[in-house]
A and B are shown apart, each in its own frame.
Chain A
Amino acid sequence: MSTAQYLKNRLPFLLVNVLCMVLLSVFLLLSGNSADSVFLILSVWVLILAAGLILSCIYRKREMDRLLAMTEQLSDRYLIAEVMKKPGRAEDQVYFRILKMAEKSMLEQVNAVRREQKEYREYIEQWIHEVKTPITAIRLQCENQRSDFSRELLAELEKVSQYTEQALYYARSEHAEKDYSIREIRLSDVVHQAIADNKYLLMQNHVAVEAEQIEDTVYSDEKWIRFILNQLIANAVKYRTEHPCIQIFSERRGDTVHLCVRDNGMGIPPEDLPRIFEKGFTGQNGRKRQNSTGLGLYLCRRLCGRLGIGICARSDESGGQGTEIVLSFRVDHFMRQVSD
């Protein structure tokens, strides 16, 4: 609250006071009082008026500042009417009522949007579960009648399942519900599963796969890691160059286990590298290829963040070295001792 504005608002009141002073002085002078006594009365008046004005200004300012601070501390500021005291002044009470009304309509809106969002999310999850049944049926049909045609179909089907999984994890990652269980997993198992998930895609694109040196075990959630690896493998296939090759290996460095996924694809330009994990970022490669969503790596980083795994990317575009994504798991000595 600014003091100048407060005084400005008091202007009519002050003018009335001045008018009263003038009238009173005229009346007192006409009825034979000395100028000295009139001056004395007026000075006392002005003193009392000024003191009252200053005190009430300080009091109001303190009150308003407290209210402001309270509002700023609230995480949902539209709820301030619930926390503040009901004011004593007549106008303030009207404003209070308006605040209450605004809050109520805001709450109704927020709840409606939340409910809609929840229903939509549930519908998406439901839909994903339902679409998995026909995907499974087509997959089994193709595997039972293997031909060049069914192999191509299977490769496309792997992309379809990949996109459905992505939608599922996107729907899930947006809210804080816990849907993972940490247990000891052998990295080689997860890697081989992820390769099996992309088998026809990799074979169709003649991608050479090396996944021999994976000996470490980590504590994490198997299906999330598998999802992350699926995204990384799909990216490596999408941004491949001639004679594509994917190397997956793990190594232990001190207190962390690194799982590296390295490809010899087109690589990432250095100016794009810091932003590849951002939501919706497609970069130069994405613009070249047209079918980049900017979601895959964003989801990877989000899931890694929730699982406490580090994720970073290295790329050397000039040397044609492709891209390397490293997942780093912390080795938990306590868990290891307990399980030994």
Chain B
Amino acid sequence: MREKILIIEDDPAIRNQLKTLLEGNGYLVEILSDFTSAAEQIKSFSPHLVLLDIGLPGISGFDICSQIRAFSDMPVVFVTSSNTDMDELNSIMLGGDAFITKPYNTAILLAKIASLLKKAYPISGEEAKDGMKLTWRGASLHPEKSTIEYNGQEAELTKNEVKILYCLFQHAGAICSRNDLIDYLWDSQLYIDDNALSVNVNRIREKLASLGLEDFIKTKYRQGYLI
């Protein structure tokens, strides 16, 4: 099931780009552009999470938040350009779940959204395990155990290797550029440079070869990696 996120933001450029970003990360996104009857519209959208700007024309995000709290416990993330202490305090008092200041870091924003959704809508253990497992051409990656499995054999992976494989599995069948991979690793707090990436990929290839998987990761010259 894809989670629905509602964006309440008055700047058209930001809300459209935010929509693209969130849709690119697998969420269903709605935009609220008429702020007069916010509460009714939010009820009819019934989103899983709301991204709320504080400075809206005609109404403050704080008011909308207290209106939401009157009927729902859904996670509310305040995104705002004012980072005064008062605003942060207000947002907590009114039941906001997170407070992120512009210009926000997309990696931090996405991580926050994911963790709030996970907390608010927990998935059962079985589902979680299946949801985590990724399979491609007979090889299954288990990020929670940090292992890769092929033909009933398992190989242990390091933190870096799991993240690299996770990114490749998510883009399975498409080329993943080295820069995108490095971006993804940095967003996961693994600060790896170009050389270290090559070293890690070679180590993964050795491990895969020991499982009998030859040529699983192909190098596309000047483009990136492909599985």
Residues on A facing B (Cβ under 8 Å): 129-130, 132-137, 139-141, 143-144, 146, 148, 151, 157, 161, 178-181, 192-193, 195-197, 199, 202-203, 206, 208-211, 223
Contact = CB atoms under 8 A, between A and B. Distances in A.
Contact of A137 (B11, B189, B194): B11
A181 B104 contact: no
Contacts of A209: 191
Interface string B175-186: 000011011001
Contacts of B11: 133, 137
Contacts, number: 88
B179 A151 contact: yes
B128 interface: no
A13 to B, nearest CB: 67
The A interface is mostly helix, strand or loop, or mixed, namely helix
B124 interface: no
Nearest to A223: B83
B222 to A, nearest CB: 12
Interface of B: 11, 13-14, 17-18, 20-21, 24, 55, 81-85, 88-89, 101-108, 179-180, 182-183, 186-187, 189, 191, 193-194
B102 A140 contact: no
Contact of A140 (B18, B82, B89, B187): B18
27 contacts: A129-B55, A130-B81, A133-B81, A135-B102, A135-B103, A136-B14, A136-B102, A136-B103, A136-B104, A139-B106, A141-B13, A143-B21, A143-B106, A144-B24, A146-B183, A178-B85, A179-B84, A181-B89, A195-B189, A195-B191, A196-B107, A196-B108, A199-B105, A199-B186, A202-B191, A203-B183, A210-B191
A129 B191 contact: no
A140 B14 contact: yes
Nearest to A188: B189
A181 B14 contact: no
A140 B21 CA distance: 8
